[in-house]
Structure 1
Amino acid sequence: MKLLKKILKIVFALIGMLIIAILVIIGVDAQRTKYLDIDHVENGDINSYLITHVNVIPMTQDTVLTDKTVYIKDGTIETIADNINIDGVEVIDAKNKYLMPGLIDMHVHVWDRYELGLYLSNGVTAVRNVWGMPMHLRIKEDVNNDEIISPMFFTSGPKLTGPEFIGDDNLNLTTPEEARDKVVSYKERGYDFVKTYYGLTPDLFNAVLEQAKISNVDIVAHPSQKVPYSSHFDPQVKSIEHTEEFVQQPLNYELDTVKLKEVIDLYAEAKYSAHCPTLVVYNNIYQMLMDDNILESESIQYMSPLIKKVDSKAQFDRWHNTKLEDPSVTERIKKQHDFHLYIIKKLHEANVRIICGTDAGIGVTTPGFSIHKELEFYKEAGLSNYEVLKTTTVNAAKTHSIMNNMGTIEGGKLANLILTNNNPLSDLSALEHPSTVFVNGRKLDRKTLDYFEEKAKGRKNLLASGIRYAENLIIEK
């Protein structure tokens, strides 16, 4: 009996030490991201400004409103006019720079708070996170309570899959009743959307659709191979993800333009479903095949240490080994990427609403930076600069009702804005280093944005990220 008590005492002591160690690791990581707290950012508590001598790209039409004054009041666009005189408000002379709505990335995977600064540094003022975990609810709460400087933050719940094991990051459903319960639970807990995923069977998928309609919650759909692709065209499904899934599902890995037209017609008929391409993440397979040293590149230093160690390396090894066994894989991946561009062209010609998404945060797809390559691909597919900008502003903001207050520069809209030295309607590269970003009316100059990048580069929070991921596995499973 004494021995048992001694053993239990040792066990409890070890558990206590482990809990203390976990709290210390998480606490240290939280301290390191204090630079994002409202009271740590210079003038972070100010969200009213007059911006004078600015060229406004309103994104309500393909035009530039020259030499305007924009009044931001309490984080909201109040007025756009030739001249506005307001006492007691800081005046920013834009010196003929260009003001447009902030960019929206509609498909990201956020791993830590450092990445929030990376998005802002690249002009991304709102993100839709589609790999929901408990930590994302805490980020969302802090953003909504105006405690941190961050892009507007929207998140799905955990990815809903069928009974077969696809990965420990997915929620495996076995019965329609369980599917309905998860939809109800995710909404009650504060997740904004439901994310359906690969592997959902027809009965499970239909149960999610039915409950989502009852619960009035939107669905973001990664198409499931277990149901017809056409089944995803439902009013509750607000966007269908990944152009590569055209090839891998309805086209059955054939670059078939005749079959493609049938899929394009489905989109054209279903006006409620947008398409989110994520071209850059697929193209990054080609980049890995072409560059044996890609994991040592500068851009990878901005990836989460956990992702670099696990996912980035695993993806690189997979494709490197595939190339060793079959050298023709590089050409096949390139051809499929080129076909993706053709798909975007055809979707655009059919007036399908395209919304910008990058799949940033996994593999070698860097948060924030990757959006510029994604937009370049839309341009390469044949969209005009204005049409490209629509995918990441007004089109994105139309997807969910909770995002309708963004995407254009109009009275009453949220003051999520970027100021660029040159006109992005003439040159998309003007977006890459905005001189100023406004998020919720708060002004971030280039010096601050560069500091956000510096803090995120080469960060050493592997253990903290691992703990948060373990929390997800414990709570959500």
Structure 2
Amino acid sequence: MEYEESMLGPHLTFPTQLSQPMAITNVAVVPMDRNRVLPDRTVVIDDGFIKTIGPSSSVSTVGMSTVDGSNRYLLPGLADMHVHYWTPGESALFLANGVTLVRNMAGAPFHLELQRKIRQRELPGPHIVTTSPIIDGWDSGMRTWLAADGPDAARRITGRLAERGYQQIKVLNSLSLEILQAICSQASLDGLRVTGHCPDVATFQQAIDVGMSSFEHLTGIWKGHLPEGQELPGLHHLSLDVIEAVAEGVDEDAIRRLAHDMAMKDVWNCPTLVVLRNMHDPQDEGINSPRLSHIVRHVPRAGLRTWAKLDPSSLNFPYQRWRDAWYRRNDVLELIVGILHEEGAPLLVGTDTSVRLVVQGFSVHEELANFTAAGMTPYEALRCATTEPARFLGQSEVWGTVAEGKRADLILAPGNPLDSIETLRDLEAVFVNGFHFTRTDLDSLLNRQAALDSLVDFAEPEVGRGATSVASTFEGAWSEREGDCEVGRVTFSHRTLPNGEWIIEESHVFEQGLIFDFGGVQRHSVELRLNPDLTIQEASLREETWVGESHAVLTLNDKLAYHHKRIDEDGYEWKENLGSRPLLPDPTLALSVVPLLVRHARNHDRGEAELACRLRQGRAEIVVLRIEQADAQTETEGDENYAWKAVVERGDEKTVWEYTFSCDGEVSKITCGPKTFVPVA
């Protein structure tokens, strides 16, 4: 079974879905209903479910394919309950490590479509549960981030996300307690759990009291629980003063009382110790460490670039002091995990992939080891990756233990994981969603993932084959670069019509490895119809990823207002109106339009701020656009090079695109932050 990534890169190859019952014979079953092993069993799976479990001597396997489980141990597949799932190769890494279910922690329509494909068995897995986009007190501009500026807005957003089909609501640090309460109230009406970071202004107890029932990373658990007489010097969990204060220790009795209360109220924690321990190490030290050096080849180059950009050791602050305090704080958090476990507060294994220096799938085994280091037995740690996630999701009747009638999401280990959890690092086979992966299949997935970067091809698609009656045509292509690496390519065509209107076609093929946005190779294709003054008559944007595509159309109506229609990756259609006068396109909508705007500004002395439109991150937004010279000097005839910039303002956010022109008026370079675009020779 080959899965093409929407023509956006190399394919992944999966085994064919099982077409007949399969029997795993003579195997020791670790059912995970309690701390026990059932020896010499035969387990029959059919259509993705467990049909029969019994002593091998009493189960007939006539007419079935078989897997010899002698001297092997069969147990439920593992769950990673905190991931950010974006790139195609992540499925390979999860499955190769026995992860058969993930909880995605910053959702988008992309994940709803991915979920549908897995349910329909167009992809084998892992199964995916997804939260909503993050709701916070500020707007990052990303498609996975929504701002709630008051209780009414919070209720509207939460209700809309529930209607949209997300399975949980995720919140973050900047919310007020009043807004959090509004979110929790609406989510309760919609039957959804609220999970995420405890807001900076609240204690865990306050957040629980207004309805929050699951916490990530233990963020802020120390608030109100420091030793008597010690004041918290701030609220932000990453500030040096706060980290140093927590590193000195917490009031363990107070933490124990909180843990007991969470146990009584069934309030969950997903500590993600593996990411807390490693995410702030220097890049070279991290990727060459014993824990990563042998698996870093599986991290896409776009992911490595993102890790490097976020390396805190390169920032201008007392890094070593901060890092030392961070490590001591992590020891305190491990102590807290032990207390939570002792008091019976429910815990989940989660790893926060693809945050820095955390590799999908492999990180689950690290987190299991962290849980045993915090005082759990192997069985107790494994429960946090099997039966407890199923209970947390209200799906204990469907999966989480090895039992007849439940999903056959199973892993075959070479040794008894109840004796040593390390045996799960080298699995013999994985069964998920009606598919069977042998060790050879798993190795093939890993090797294919390691080779993906060498197969990325930024092919130049053909553009400019539309209208036949044109006054002139101009075409070109730019290579997008970060340092020495090509990370994308823009191909464009400009056509002027006899009436002075413009037809702009542009295709941008690129790869990225962001934590909260699409990863892998993708293509954005835009077609603009512009008035002679370059304002938008109509804009069409198609965004293709390995999961599918979305399509947005912006149309100017007779009343000089815009109508925006969008069809998301999962087929959901929605519409909105933008009440505005005619708008210019901004550089993120069409990079190649800016030289036309520069020419217009030079010819018409047009340098004042104007309104523009961007179709980005699933939204239509009105922004302020300024086209101005890059320095205070006036360019003169005969200059070899001159530069103009497009300044885009969205609230307090400002983005500057600088265009350098050669003496013949052609673009020789475009820069925006770390990215540079240069003409393709």
TM more than 0.5 = yes
Q: Aligned to 1:365, what secondary structure does the other structure show?
A: coil
Map of 1:27 onto structure 2:
6
Map of 1:85 onto structure 2:
60
Matched, 1:446 2:442: no
Counterpart pick for 1:276 among 245, 249, 270 = 270
CA contact 1:112–1:304 (8 Å) conserved in 2: no
CA contact 2:387–2:396 (8 Å) conserved in 1: no
1:292–1:305 distance in 2 versus 1, CA, 3 Å:
closer
Map of 2:47 onto structure 1:
74
More strand by percentage: 2
Map of 2:310 onto structure 1:
315
Map of 1:372 onto structure 2:
365
CA contact 1:353–1:395 (8 Å) conserved in 2: yes
Matched, 1:259 2:238: no
In the TM superposition, 1:387-398 aligns within 5 A as 387-398=380-391
> How much has 1:133 moved relative to structure 2?
2.0
CA contact 1:244–1:340 (8 Å) conserved in 2: no
CA contact 1:159–1:170 (8 Å) conserved in 2: yes
1:158–1:352 distance in 2 versus 1, CA, 3 Å:
same
Residues 164-223 of structure 1 show CA distances to partners (whole Å, capped at 9, x for unaligned) of 759785211112222222222222222221111111112211111011011111222221
Residues 369-389 of structure 1 show CA distances to partners (whole Å, capped at 9, x for unaligned) of 111111111111111111111
Counterpart pick for 2:27 among 45, 54, 58 = 54
> How much has 1:70 moved relative to structure 2?
1.0
Q: What is the rounded CA distance, in whole Å, between the counterparts of 2:50 and 2:253 in structure 1?
A: 42
CA contact 1:289–1:330 (8 Å) conserved in 2: no
> How much has 1:107 moved relative to structure 2?
0.2
TM-score relative to the length of structure 1? 0.85
Q: What is the rounded CA distance, in whole Å, between the counterparts of 1:361 and 1:353 in structure 2?
A: 24
Residues 271-295 of structure 1 show CA distances to partners (whole Å, capped at 9, x for unaligned) of 3211101000011046438927649
CA contact 2:158–2:169 (8 Å) conserved in 1: yes
CA contact 2:82–2:350 (8 Å) conserved in 1: yes
Return 5+ residue gaps in structure 2 as ranges. Answer: 227-231, 233-241, 457-486, 488-509, 525-542, 544-567, 569-615, 621-681
Question: Number of residue pairs matched?
Answer: 444
Residues 392-422 of structure 1 show CA distances to partners (whole Å, capped at 9, x for unaligned) of 0111111012465221111221111000111
Q: What is the rounded CA distance, in whole Å, between the counterparts of 2:300 and 2:224 in structure 1?
A: 31
CA contact 2:143–2:617 (8 Å) conserved in 1: no
Map of 1:475 onto structure 2:
618
In the TM superposition, 1:232-311 aligns within 5 A as 232-233=207-208, 237-247=212-222, 251=226, 252=232, 253=242, 254-255=246-247, 259-270=251-262, 271-285=265-279, 287-288=281-282, 291=285, 294=288, 297-310=293-306
Q: What is the rounded CA distance, in whole Å, between the counterparts of 2:452 and 2:283 in structure 1?
A: 26
In the TM superposition, 1:93-172 aligns within 5 A as 93-163=68-138, 170-172=145-147
More helix by percentage: 1
Counterpart pick for 2:326 among 321, 333, 348 = 333
1:349–1:284 distance in 2 versus 1, CA, 3 Å:
same
> How much has 1:441 moved relative to structure 2?
3.6
Q: What is the rounded CA distance, in whole Å, between the counterparts of 1:314 and 1:272 in structure 2?
A: 39
CA RMSD of aligned residues (A): 2.8
TM-score relative to the length of structure 2? 0.61
Residues 123-163 of structure 1 show CA distances to partners (whole Å, capped at 9, x for unaligned) of 10000000112221221110011111111111111111013
Map of 1:38 onto structure 2:
none
Matched, 1:175 2:150: yes
CA contact 1:159–1:195 (8 Å) conserved in 2: yes
Q: Aligned to 2:6, what secondary structure does the other structure show?
A: helix
Matched, 1:421 2:414: yes
Matched, 1:230 2:205: yes
* Paired letter, 1:406: W
Q: Aligned to 1:407, what secondary structure does the other structure show?
A: coil
Q: What is the rounded CA distance, in whole Å, between the counterparts of 1:249 and 1:459 in structure 2?
A: 48
Q: What is the rounded CA distance, in whole Å, between the counterparts of 2:16 and 2:107 in structure 1?
A: 31
Between 1:380-389 and 1:395-404, the stretch displaced more is 395-404
Between 1:76-85 and 1:223-232, the stretch displaced more is 223-232
Q: What is the rounded CA distance, in whole Å, between the counterparts of 1:279 and 1:429 in structure 2?
A: 17
Q: What is the rounded CA distance, in whole Å, between the counterparts of 1:235 and 1:57 in structure 2?
A: 39
Give the greater-gyration-radius structure (CA).
2
Counterpart pick for 2:448 among 448, 455, 472 = 455
Q: Aligned to 2:52, what secondary structure does the other structure show?
A: strand
Residues 54-113 of structure 1 show CA distances to partners (whole Å, capped at 9, x for unaligned) of 000010111111111112122111221103114422122211200011000000011212
CA contact 1:129–1:156 (8 Å) conserved in 2: yes
Q: What is the rounded CA distance, in whole Å, between the counterparts of 1:293 and 1:415 in structure 2?
A: 35
> How much has 1:47 moved relative to structure 2?
6.3
Q: Aligned to 2:618, what secondary structure does the other structure show?
A: helix
Q: What is the rounded CA distance, in whole Å, between the counterparts of 2:249 and 2:123 in structure 1?
A: 47
CA contact 2:413–2:423 (8 Å) conserved in 1: yes
* Paired letter, 1:199: S
> How much has 1:326 moved relative to structure 2?
4.7
- Identity level (%): 28
Map of 1:20 onto structure 2:
none
* Paired letter, 1:27: S
Higher relative contact order (CA 8 A, sep 6+): 1
Return 5+ residue gaps in structure 1 as ranges. Answer: 1-24, 36-40
CA contact 2:20–2:64 (8 Å) conserved in 1: no
Q: Aligned to 1:50, what secondary structure does the other structure show?
A: strand
* Paired letter, 2:386: T
Residues 411-441 of structure 1 show CA distances to partners (whole Å, capped at 9, x for unaligned) of 2211110001111111111111211000024
> How much has 1:28 moved relative to structure 2?
2.5
